[in-house]
Amino acid sequence: MVDRALLIALVRRQPRALLAASLFGWIALTVLDRMLILPAICGASVASADIALTLAVTPPGALMLAWLAMLLAMMSPLLAGPIAHVRLRSLKRRRFRALVMFLAGYGAVWLAAAPVLLALVDALRLLAQAVALPALVLAVLVMLIWQAAPAKQISLNRCHRLPRLSAFGVAADCDCLRYGAATGVWCVGTCWGFMVLPLVADSMHLPLMAVLAMIALIERARRARPARWGFSALASALDRKTPARAT
C-alpha cells in the first residue's frame, strides 16, 4: 500500500532515540486504549452525549496524556530532520537546552491544536447525524479535500524549512523556540486531515493511526514541490517511484 522500500530506508535512518520515543508512544497508546482513556477522544460508535459524558469523567490530565502519547507515537519519526538541525547547529554545551526549547515550541502548538481538532470532530459527528451518514465517511471526505488542497503541499514544503539558529544566549533560545513552534504549525497543517480519521474511528483507531503515521512519514520525506490542487503528495507516498516532474 505504501512505498515499503522507502519506509524501511526511512526507519533505518531514524535516530534510535526517536524510534524509542515513538515505540514508547505506541505502547502508551495501547495501554491508554485498554484503560478507555483513548476512546474518550476517539469513538464514533458512541453517541455524542456519551462522548461528552466520557470526556467529563476522564480527568483532563489523562486526556492530555493520551494526546501526548499520540504525538510521541506518530510525530517523533517526522522530527528527525528538525532535531538533527537543532542538535548540529547548536553549541555542544547548549544542545540539550536547544532541544528542550524546540520541543516546547512544537508541543505547545500541538496542545493548542487539540481542542480545535476535537471541536471539529464533534461538529463532524453532529453533521453526520444530521445527514444520516457515518462520521467516518465525512472524515474521509474532509481528509481527501485537505489532501488535494494546495495548502497541504505548502504546509509540507514549509516542514522542510531549516531556519537560522543563533549560537549564543537568549537569541539561541528564542530561535529554537520559534523553530519548534513553526515546525508545529506546519506539522499540524500537514497532518490535521489525517488526525481527524482516527478521532472518529471506533475500535480501528490504533491500526488506522499506524497506517496514517507511515503515510505521513513518507510524505514528509518527499522533496518539496509546487503547490497545486491534486493528490500528488498522497500518490507519491503510496507509489513505489518518485517520478521526475513530467511536463
Partner 1 sequence: MPRTRRNVWKLSQPWDDVLLWYARAVGELQTRPITDPTSWASLGAMHGFDRGLWTALGYIAQGAPLPPSAVQARLWQQCQHQTWYFLSWHRGYLAAFEAIVRSAVVKLGGPADWALPYWNYSTDVQSRRLPAAFADTKLPDGQDNPLFTERRYGRGDGTIVIDPRDVMLTALNERYYTGTGPNGATGFGGLKTEFSHFATAGDETHNYNGQLEGRPHNILHVRIGGFDPSDSQQVGLMTNPDTAALDPIFWLHHANIDRLWKTWLQQTLPRTARPDQFKNPADAGWLDGPRDRKFVMPRPDGTEYTFTSRDVTDTTAPALDYVYEEEQPPQPATPVLEARLERLGVAPGRAAEIAGAVVMSPLKEPELVGANDSVLRLNSPDVETAVRLDRGARNDLLESMKRSTLESATPHEPDHVYLNLENIKSPTDAAIIYVYINLPAGANPDDHPECFAGAVSLFGARKATAADGPHGGNGISESLDITAIVDRLHINDALGPELSVKFVAGTPNATDKITIDRVSIYRQGH
Interface positions with partner 1 (CB under 8 A): 5-6, 9-10, 13, 81, 84-85, 88-93, 153-154, 157-168, 171, 221-227, 241-247
Q: How far is the CB of 126 from partner 1 (least distance, A)?
A: 37
Q: Which is nearer to partner 1, 67 or 102 (CB)?
A: 102
Q: Which is nearer to partner 1, 35 or 158 (CB)?
A: 158
Q: Which is nearer to partner 1, 42 or 165 (CB)?
A: 165
Q: Which is nearer to partner 1, 136 or 233 (CB)?
A: 233
Q: How far is the CB of 93 from partner 1 (least distance, A)?
A: 6
Three state DSSP letters for 45-105: CCCHHHHHHHHHHCCHHHHHHHHHHHHHHHHHHHHHHHHHHHHHCCCHHHHHHHHHHHHHH
Q: How far is the CB of 28 from partner 1 (least distance, A)?
A: 27
Least Cα distance to 161 among 219, 220, 214 occurs for 220
Q: How far is the CB of 38 from partner 1 (least distance, A)?
A: 30
Q: How far apart are CA 88 and CA 120, in angstroms?
A: 38
Which one-letter amino acid corresponds to residue 62? A
User: In whole angstroms, what separates CA 121 from the centre of its chain?
Assistant: 16
Q: Which is nearer to partner 1, 34 or 161 (CB)?
A: 161
Provide, for the chain, the percentages of residues in helix, strand and coil under a 3-state DSSP scheme, each rounded to the nearest 5: 80, 0, 20
41, 118 Cβ separation under 8 angstroms: yes
Q: How far is the CB of 185 from partner 1 (least distance, A)?
A: 15
